[in-house]
Structure 1
């Protein structure tokens, strides 16, 4: 009985620690500066707006997704139907969609997937913001899933935890693999 009570209390404490802290204006300004540094033709107002939205929308989504646990535990709850959303691809899709609504003239959004070819790790999706016309490899990773509703960002080359591949490349490879499996037998 006492062990069950201690276990329940420990889970409550750990769960309450997983709630995303609110972002600070200093963090927003650091991200805006990183986005401005993507190139001399980046509109400073667009960089500031993208950073503000990335942080504010991450906070909003953390509430909507009902984030109370670390990412992998939350994933299990989403997959069991206990939470509405919050898988990494949900975060990436929603952040990308929200930032695309701004119709930036000097910035562009990309999607990427890591671990797609690693059978020992789960796929991980993210959104990346770059200078208009540049590839995702020249951009900044925006990853709110990694720390459970706390926006993690870094220039893609500095994100040594993941080997990011363009989402469309991964999906095309999977489509071709699946298509190949569906081919009728034409042998003798």
Structure 2
């Protein structure tokens, strides 16, 4: 009897987890990311970096609603893995942002998929990485809305002490197009 009651309350907890509302756009954070984007290369114009930065925050808010995000991330992952949510795993975030960004007009930037602990079920993590056009992956900026449940985390690849990022060329669009031929 108690076991069934415990199961009921556990399922109720999972279904009623803290739903996340999109984080309001903070001009200071948008500007901070824009400055980081500009610092990647002298040829990057402030207007373009401002537009990209704002676009990333807006897309994060839209995906937060689309994924019906629950906090903390491990709880949302549990809901996805048990079928109570459709999407919202870290690779859903990185893929959605990647696909959106490569369709936009950002000629000064390149967009990459990044991964850490690749192949390890419990610790693999995926992100979007932005570099200046033609620059190496490790000079880029990590864009990670999953880590803080819809609050956009960003950092230089080299400065992100929580993960050791590697480029996931095998998952990028150009690789997929070649494989489809």
TM bin (shorter chain): 0.7 to 0.9
Where do 4+ consecutive residues of structure 1 move more than 4 Å?
10-14
Once residues 79 and 117 of structure 1 are traced to their aligned partners in structure 2, the CA distance between those partners, rounded to angstroms, is 17
Instruction: Please show how residues 96-135 of structure 1 align to structure 2 within 5 Å.
Output: 96-116=98-118, 121-135=122-136
Q: Hey, what does 1:168 align to over in structure 2?
A: 169
The normalised TM-score by structure 2 is 0.81
Unaligned runs of 5+ in 1: 172-188
2:25 to 16, 23, 27: 23
Unaligned runs of 5+ in 2: 1-5, 173-181
Superposed displacement of residue 166, structure 1: 1.1
Superposed displacement of residue 28, structure 1: 0.5
Greater CA radius of gyration, 1 or 2? 1
Once residues 105 and 98 of structure 2 are traced to their aligned partners in structure 1, the CA distance between those partners, rounded to angstroms, is 12
Once residues 98 and 52 of structure 2 are traced to their aligned partners in structure 1, the CA distance between those partners, rounded to angstroms, is 11
Superposed displacement of residue 47, structure 1: 0.8
**1:146 matches 2:147:** yes
> What SS is found at the alignment partner of 1:78?
helix
The normalised TM-score by structure 1 is 0.78
Q: Hey, what does 1:76 align to over in structure 2?
A: 78
1:91 to 72, 90, 93: 93
> What SS is found at the alignment partner of 1:82?
coil
> What SS is found at the alignment partner of 2:85?
coil
2:43 to 35, 41, 44: 41
